[in-house]
């Protein structure tokens, strides 16, 4: 059990990146164009992109932006509408985008990870989801044993719909819960009774889904340590395989829906810290392993096993058991990674549609990583995923002297070692059990962009 103190939690109550990538998406530039994205795909398609004669499997992310109603806390790219007929035009555009990829990559590329996010992917009807999955299967080969997941709004599905998702090949579900307290749900405009979520999770188990995740948020309006403790108790009774516990970041200047939240109803910092501390203790006591970065998994879950075995990876969807691989982002605002590049699609539907109508990839910004970016990405991802950086492996891969290259960073690691967050070994750095809870803060030390730019308010709090 880690030694977490209120003082330690308060000290790290600062904004910082979630490191689903390095450099982070706020560093993307418009100078990276659709043509550069095409070139990255062409390089993958060439013989130089082959691994042992076979190209490594792809990961796919599909963004479905539509929601019937707005959740006030939401910071996702979304379109609020009750007009379900709008989905048809969007599916047409997605199919054009898929076709652009197959024109470069060819059909039948192996895919080992697929994730539908949003918005609310279950805004799409059963027939529309079937159409989209059919198009993806025609373009790519979804390999046996892959992770095929979809985010589910409990208000938009039934046990019958869950059965349909299973028949389409989805084997993982993520339920957006956030909080079960009725007063909190009203404050954030997302009312979904505990009983309905419990019934859906039970149905999902009976249908044989490999893994069920539940998202929770602490720091929402009208939450108290006592009310959130009740939610934790209820989640514990439901026993999802994985739990994602996020801190609410109140940024109304950036996210318009958050302006409907009364800032006076937000819990005080000391109450947020109490909620986090209690959540950690509750989940550990119920048999969950702490994976890192707000994520917990049952000891028997594949994610927990991957962490124990040093096979954990991280991409734009968070922690994954799948090997590090190229990611194609499909849909409005979707982010992808191909080779040493990142890319992001247009954030508005008109701009997204317009590019595809002209036969162009809808990429509007991105980044070609420098040698220093690739080096620091390797260090940060080793910290975030394995909690261990082996100096020699970094030195051999990137032709540097680790201690000399990172002299300033190692001085900060000495301070963190004194705080019990890391241990500095002759051959590397290792995150301690306590340090895992602050791994974002440890990784931030190696973020060159962040160290040069102290304006961090665009990020969520580390805890």
CA nearest neighbour of 73 among 326, 260, 207, 232:
260
Torsion 116-122-123-128 (CA) sign: positive
Q: Is 178 annotated as a binding residue?
A: yes
Whole-number Å distance between alpha carbons of 420 and 417 = 5
75 is in an annotated binding site: yes
Structure tokens at 95: 């199919």
Sign, Cα dihedral of 421, 243, 342, 254: negative
Q: Is 190 assigned a ligand-binding role in the annotation? A: yes
Per DSSP bridges, beta strands 79-80 and 66-67 are parallel
Query: Rounded to whole angstroms, how far apart are CA atoms 432 and 129?
Result: 44
Is 47 marked as binding a ligand? no
Closest residue by Cα to residue 123 from 110, 132, 114: 132
Phi, psi of 242, deg, nearest 5: -135, 150
408 in a labelled binding site: no
Give the three-state DSSP class for 211: strand
- Rounded-to-integer distance, Cα 360 and Cα 366, Å: 16
- Residue 324 is assigned to a ligand binding site: no
Q: What are phi and psi of 73, to 5 degrees?
A: -80, -10
Q: What are phi and psi of 299, to 5 degrees?
A: -55, -30
What residue has token string 């009310």? 227
Q: What crossing angle do the helices spanning 225-238 and 269-285 adopt, rounded to 10°?
A: 20
Half-sphere exposure of 328 (CA within 13 A, CB side): 28
**Which residues are CB-neighbours of 350 under 8 A, at least 6 positions away?**
none
Would you put residue 415 in left (φ > 0), alpha (ψ -120 to 50) or beta? alpha
Strand ranges (E), 226-304: 242-247, 288-292, 295-298
- Total Cβ atoms within 10 A of residue 29: 10
Query: Does 335 carry a binding-site annotation?
Result: yes
The encoded tokens of residue 365 equal 């910004």
Measured CA to CA, the distance from residue 84 to residue 250 in angstroms comes to 30
CB-based burial label for 83 (10 Å; 0-12, 13-18, 19+): exposed
Task: Calculate Rg over the CA atoms of the chain.
Answer: 22
219: left (phi over 0), alpha (psi -120 to 50) or beta: left
Q: Is the distance from CB of 150 to CB of 95 less than 8 angstroms?
A: no
Please state the residue numbers annotated as binding site for S-adenosyl-L-methionine: 61, 73-75, 118, 151, 178, 190, 215, 249, 335
The binding site consists of: 61, 67, 71, 73-75, 118, 151, 178, 190, 215, 249, 335
Q: State the binding site for [4Fe-4S] cluster.
A: 67, 71, 74
């Amino acid at each position: 059990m880690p030694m977490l103190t209120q003082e330690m939690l308060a000290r790290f109550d600062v904004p910082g990146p979630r490191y689903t990538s390095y450099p982070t998406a706020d560093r993307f530039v418009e100078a990276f164009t659709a043509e550069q994205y095409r070139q990255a795909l062409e390089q993958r398609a060439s013989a130089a992109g082959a691994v042992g004669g076979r190209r490594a499997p792809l990961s796919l992310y599909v963004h479905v932006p539509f929601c019937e109603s707005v959740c006030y806390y939401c910071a996702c790219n979304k379109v609020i509408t009750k007009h379900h007929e709008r989905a048809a035009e969007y599916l047409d555009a997605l199919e054009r985008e898929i076709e652009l990829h197959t024109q470069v990559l060819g059909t039948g590329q192996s895919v080992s990870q697929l994730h539908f996010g949003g918005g609310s992917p279950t805004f799409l009807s059963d027939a529309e989801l079937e159409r989209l999955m059919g198009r993806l299967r025609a373009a790519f080969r979804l390999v046996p044993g892959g992770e095929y997941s979809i985010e589910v709004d409990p208000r938009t599905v039934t046990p019958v719909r869950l059965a349909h998702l299973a028949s389409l090949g989805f084997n993982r579900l993520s339920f957006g819960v956030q909080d079960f307290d009725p007063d909190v749900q009203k404050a954030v405009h997302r009312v979904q009774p505990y009983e309905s979520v419990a019934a859906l999770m039970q149905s999902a188990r009976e249908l044989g889904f490999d893994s069920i995740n539940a998202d929770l948020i602490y720091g929402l309006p009208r939450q108290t340590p006592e009310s959130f403790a009740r939610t934790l108790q209820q989640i514990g009774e439901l026993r999802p395989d994985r739990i994602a516990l996020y801190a609410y970041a109140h940024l109304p200047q950036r996210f318009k829906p958050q302006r409907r939240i009364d800032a006076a109803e937000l819990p005080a910092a000391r109450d947020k810290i109490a909620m986090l501390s209690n959540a950690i203790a509750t989940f550990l006591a119920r048999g969950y392993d702490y994976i890192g970065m707000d994520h917990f998994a049952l000891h028997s879950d594949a994610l927990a096993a991957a962490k124990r075995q040093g096979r954990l990876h991280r991409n734009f969807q968070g922690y994954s058991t799948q090997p590090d691989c190229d990611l194609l982002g499909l849909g409005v605002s979707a982010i992808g990674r191909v080779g040493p590049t990142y890319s992001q699609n247009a954030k508005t539907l008109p701009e997204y549609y317009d590019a595809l109508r002209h036969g162009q990839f809808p990429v509007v910004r991105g980044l070609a990583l420098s040698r220093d970016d690739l080096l620091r990405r390797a260090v940060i991802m080793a910290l975030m995923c394995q909690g261990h950086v082996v100096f020699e492996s970094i030195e051999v891969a990137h032709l540097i002297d680790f201690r000399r290259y990172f002299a300033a960073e190692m001085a900060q690691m000495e301070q963190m070692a004194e705080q019990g967050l890391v241990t500095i070994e002759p051959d590397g750095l290792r995150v301690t059990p306590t340090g895992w809870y602050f791994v974002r803060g440890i990784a931030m030390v190696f973020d060159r962009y962040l160290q040069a730019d102290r304006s961090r308010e665009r990020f969520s709090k580390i805890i």
